[in-house]
Structure 1
Amino acid sequence: MLSQRGRRKADEPLRPDLDFLSQASENPYAPDNTTGAIALCIAENLLQWDAMRDKLQAIARDQPWPEWMAAYTQLGGAPDFREAVAGFVSRHIAGQPLAADHFCGSAGATAVVEVSAMCLGDAGDYAVFPAPAYQAYLPDIQNKAGLLRHDITHYARPFGPEEHPLSLRELDTARETLGTRFRMLVLTQPDNPTGAIYGEAQLREIAEWCIRHQIHLIVNEIYALSRFDRQTAGLEHTAPFVSFLPYLEQRDSPYLHWWYSFSKDFGISGFRVGLLYSRNETFRQAYGNYNAPHQISNPTQWLLARLLEDDAWVTAFQERNARLLTAAYRTVTDALDELKVPYTPARGSLFVWADFSGYLPERNREAAEALWAAIFTETGVLLTAPGGLGQPEAGWFRIVYSGVSTAALAEAMRRLSQFLNVRRGSAT
């Protein structure tokens, strides 16, 4: 009845926690249901949805709708939208002017990854990721483009509070392994799931390595503004986040590109708005032609353009975002510190990457999956499923702290602490 790929996908769930996620959605935690399930596995930021909803409703109500909204527009995005996007990214991320016509918009980050993969690699080529890394990168590059995923999992030094430990040594090893089929290197910063960032000199060094070997480097800054309040988080003496965009502009290479989406920093994942920025004109032309089925709806483009033009509102929104993310991060890490559970010191993003291997009878994937399932069935707290992120050692779980209310997050950590303390007591 179906094609081979259709049959394969029918039996291949998008993510391994769908059954538990469905159960959690049927009985969610709420002020009037304090025993309900709490999902800490979806990379969403809902901490300011009330403010965002009010702002968007006011724009739709008070501003006139343009004629172009009802018609087809350019494949990479309406000119009005791209001008507003260029202004926002220039002011808040790049710190310098960017060309509006170097941006292409697609219906979400998934579409941006998929269309980029279609343009930059052939079936059987590899996209390389420093791991652990976002698990859905694999279907995004593979479903249509047929690319393969290669994870770099071993580093010359461990993760710490400074820059990501990826070095040219690991890249050389990957190139020796993959040869000319190494087509793309994707870095995410702040990182998913570790929250690490790349130093400015480090990004330049990696970029020059990619240019030298004719490998496309894409820096995904989808969490560019999902960073902590530096003073509150005790980060005053560490290097700040620096966007890759200024160096991309300065170097002007056909091998350097940038991804972004409004889903995380603005908490509107359901609006489906992702961005590519590249100075490679041929890439942008190919991207636009592949992008026809992935265009952002015109009402969404118009609505977001008007929002971005209110720079004072955007600035205040992002300043509050940093404070709320910092407080939520501290809620999780304070509980982990009390439990003496190790975690990677994050510099931003929506995650805590924590090592629960001390609660495993054996350090293997089966034991990690059993612990993950037990946490949910016994506490109602759903963490990101182990496996798929490319972590080399079992026992590491991702905790998303921005997709639930402050009360729900505190309750989740209370339940998790109670569960783990009982486990620890049973083991002694």
Structure 2
Amino acid sequence: MSELSYISLRGNRAYNTVVRPDFELYFEASKNIYSAEENPHGTFPLNVADNNLNWPILRERMQYIAATLEIPDWVSGYTSGLGHETFRVALADFLGNFLADRPIAPENIGVAAGATAVIELSAIILADKGDVAVFPAPAYPVYSRDIMNKAGVQRYDLITHHDSDAIHHGPILSIEHLEKAKQDIERQGSNFRLLVVTNPDNPTGGLYTALQLESIAEWCMERKIHFIVNEIYGFVTVNTKDPAIADDYSDHRTFTSFLSIIHKKNSPYLHQWYALSKDLGISGMRVGMVYSLNQAFLTAFNNLNLPHMVSNHTQWLLQNILGDHEFIQDFLNAQRHALTKGYIVVVDMLKKLNIPFVPSYGSLFVWADFSRFLETETLAAEMAFWQELYKNTGVLLTPGIGFGHTKKGMFRIVYTCFDDEELQVAMKRIQYYLTGLPKHKKIATQ
């Protein structure tokens, strides 16, 4: 008998559904990480959104707290499915002071084990099986798995452009785009139930303006469509006024949190997703949250969240981190400085190689156009180039597959996994490989 006969149909679907097409190479590369002294021929996995820039600073603080503070009794027991009260108070205070610039109510927060759990639960609660969630393309590939695996919600990639120069100044999602998507979805007999944007954007690093967000919110509210803004990269923004990159931007817009708009509109159709994974660089600690004024949604979240609750010890540790606003401010300042340095290393090399890219305002990525190195503008050619680049340089980028974009040859470069000196080595390897290709040669498909 086949080994698959021992599991359910759902189990078979899970068995055959790869989370990400680049994970196998990522785990291979992660076993051979570059080190200038210990492993100079090692690899550079720049495909997974890890933020390692200031982990030593945070680790030292965590070790100090663990060594000097007494663990409270509540850590060993059961707590609310929305998260322990004291942690949600600390989280609300942190978000209100640093992200939203206004008071945030802890009773409107639901906490779960990472952004993935929050997204999955939101899809289950806000939409029915077969409903459609719309994502302006390109968008994070694993959203598809998060909304489909259990909730059965379908993903719709809303195409707003083909060439990346169209979004050189930021996202161009308009009401006209939304109307066309709604008509298309309804023609197919489906229901446009959710609209999700990531701000700052993954993978482009673009920022939505407050006017864009308000206009989209009003359109969604009128049509009873749930509008969710994922602000998981809210604190990882680039200093666009740095002289090395200032001329790349037509305006130096700053991040505007959706939290203020949620309160301004006071609608049950507006929600924010957030997590500490990227901003603090602690993906492995699994802390995500949703903010909503929709109390029915939060009650349902509480009732469904038992399998996804965050460890009480993690909540206690992090409430002490977040509650120290002086430490947090210093940490965020240091992180922005390191983030900007790494970003400059990557885009400087892209400019030397004449590789188009989208100037990033935030997130952990550069969205770059390597299409001229493809034999044909096909997925097979894109994957062939991706594999050959890794094989010849040891540098692993995120391929464009799954982002829902129409143009082939677009790749995401994560620049927060290594410091700027190490990044320079990775980018020089790419330079050496690409400039060494015969001018008439492109990467052939396998």
TM-score, length of structure 2 as denominator length: 0.93
Q: Which amino acid aligns with 1:356?
A: F
Which of 249, 264, 279 is the matching residue for 1:250? 264
Match of 1:6 in 2: 11
Q: Return the alpha-carbon distance in structure 2 between the equivalents of residues 3 and 316 of structure 1.
A: 51
Aligned mates of 1:204, 1:142 — CA distance in 2: 28
In 2, distance between residues paired with 1:416 and 1:119? 45
Separation in structure 2 between the aligned mates of residue 61 and residue 251 of structure 1, nearest angstrom: 44
Within the candidate set 157, 168, 177, 1:170 is matched to 177
Q: 2:41: which partner in 1? A: 35
Say which SS state the counterpart of residue 107 (structure 2) adopts: helix
Give the corresponding residue for 1:112: 118
Indicate the residue corresponding to 2:332 in structure 1.
Answer: 318
Counterpart of 2:157 in structure 1 is 151
Give, in angstroms, the shift of residue 230 of structure 1. Answer: 3.6
- Give the whole-Å Cα distance in 2 for the aligned partners of 1:177 and 1:236: 34
**Partners of 2:24 and 2:56 in 1: how far apart?**
29
Deviation at 1:137, TM superposition (A): 0.2
Cα distance in 1 between the residues matched to 2:251 and 2:44: 35
Per-residue deviation, 1:154: 2.9
Among 7, 20, 23, which residue is 1:18 paired with?
23
1:231 aligns with 2:238: no
- In 2, distance between residues paired with 1:408 and 1:156? 32
How far is the alpha carbon of 1:231 from its aligned partner?
Answer: 2.4
Once the two structures are superposed, the pairs formed by residues 369-380 of structure 1 within 5 Å of their partners are 369-380=383-394
Instruction: Measure the CA separation in 2 of the matches of 1:25 and 1:251.
Output: 45
Q: Distance in 1 between matches of 2:314 and 2:171?
A: 35
The 2-side partners of 1:326 and 1:145 are apart by 38
Mapped pair 1:63 → 2:69:
yes
Structure 1 residue 401 corresponds to structure 2 residue 415: yes
Q: How many pairs does the alignment contain? A: 428
Partners of 2:205 and 2:359 within 8 A in 1: yes
Structure 1 unaligned blocks of 5 or more: none
| Contact map agreement 1:162 1:238 (CA 8 A) in 2 | no
User: What percent of counterpart residues are identical?
Assistant: 42
Deviation, structure 1 residue 9: 1.5
Tell me how far 1:424 sits from its aligned partner: 5.0
Q: Is the 8 A contact 1:159 1:344 kept in 2?
A: no
CA displacement at 1:114 relative to structure 2: 0.3
Amino acid at match of 1:167: S
Structure 2 contact 382–399 (Cα < 8 Å) conserved: no
Could you tell me how far 1:182 is from its partner in structure 2? 0.6
Q: Is the 8 A contact 2:82 2:112 kept in 1?
A: yes
Note if contact 1:155-1:166 (Cα within 8 Å) is conserved in structure 2. no
Q: Matches of residues 202-221 of structure 1 in structure 2 within 5 Å?
A: 202-221=212-231
After TM superposition, give the deviation of residue 19 of structure 1 in Å: 2.4
- For 1:199, the equivalent position in structure 2 comes to 209
Deviation at 1:156, TM superposition (A): 10
Q: Matched residues in 2 for 1:268 and 1:34: separation? A: 27
Matching residue's letter, 1:192? N
Q: What is the rounded CA distance, in whole Å, between the counterparts of 1:345 and 1:46 in structure 2?
A: 22
CA–CA distance in structure 1, aligned partners of residues 68 and 29 of structure 2: 38
Shift of 1:23: 2.0
1:236 Cα deviation from its structure 2 partner: 9.2
Seen in structure 2, the aligned counterparts of structure 1 residues 403 and 257 have a Cα distance that, compared at 3 Å, is same
Query: CA–CA distance in 2 between the matches of 1:251 and 1:142?
Result: 29
Mapped to 2, the partners of 1:47 and 1:139 lie a distance apart of: 28
State the match for 2:427 in structure 1: 413
The equivalent position to 1:283 in structure 2, one of 297, 320, 326, is 297
SS at match of 2:201: coil
Equivalent-residue separation in structure 2 for 1:390 and 1:399 (angstroms):
17
Contact 2:162 2:405 in 1 (8 A): no
SS at match of 2:361: coil
Determine if the alignment matches structure 1 residue 269 to structure 2 residue 280: no
Say which is worse superposed, 298-307 or 20-29, in terms of deviation: 20-29
Distance 1:231 1:387 in 2: 32
Question: What is the aligned counterpart of 1:330 among 331, 340, 344?
Answer: 344
What's the CA shift for 1:276? 0.3
Cα deviation 1:307-365 (Å, max 9, x = unaligned): 01110000010011111111111100000000000011111100000000011121111
Distance 1:201 1:273 in 2: 30
Alignment counterpart, residue 367 of structure 1, candidates 378, 381, 397: 381
Deviation at 1:4, TM superposition (A): 0.7
Give 3-state SS (helix, strand or coil) of 1:34's partner. coil
Letter in 2 for 1:175: K
Q: Is the 8 A contact 1:48 1:267 kept in 2?
A: yes
Mapped to 2, the partners of 1:238 and 1:21 lie a distance apart of: 34
**Distance between the aligned counterparts of 2:167 and 2:13, measured in 1?**
40
Q: Which runs of 5+ in 2 are unaligned?
A: 1-5
Aligned-pair Cα RMSD in Å: 1.5
How big is the shift at 1:8? 1.8
- Report SS of the residue matched to 1:411: helix
Distance 1:118 1:160 in 2: 32
Tell me the equivalent position of 2:81: 75
1:147 & 1:184 partners in 2: Cα distance? 9
Q: Is the 8 A contact 2:162 2:406 kept in 1?
A: no
Matched, 1:427 2:413: no
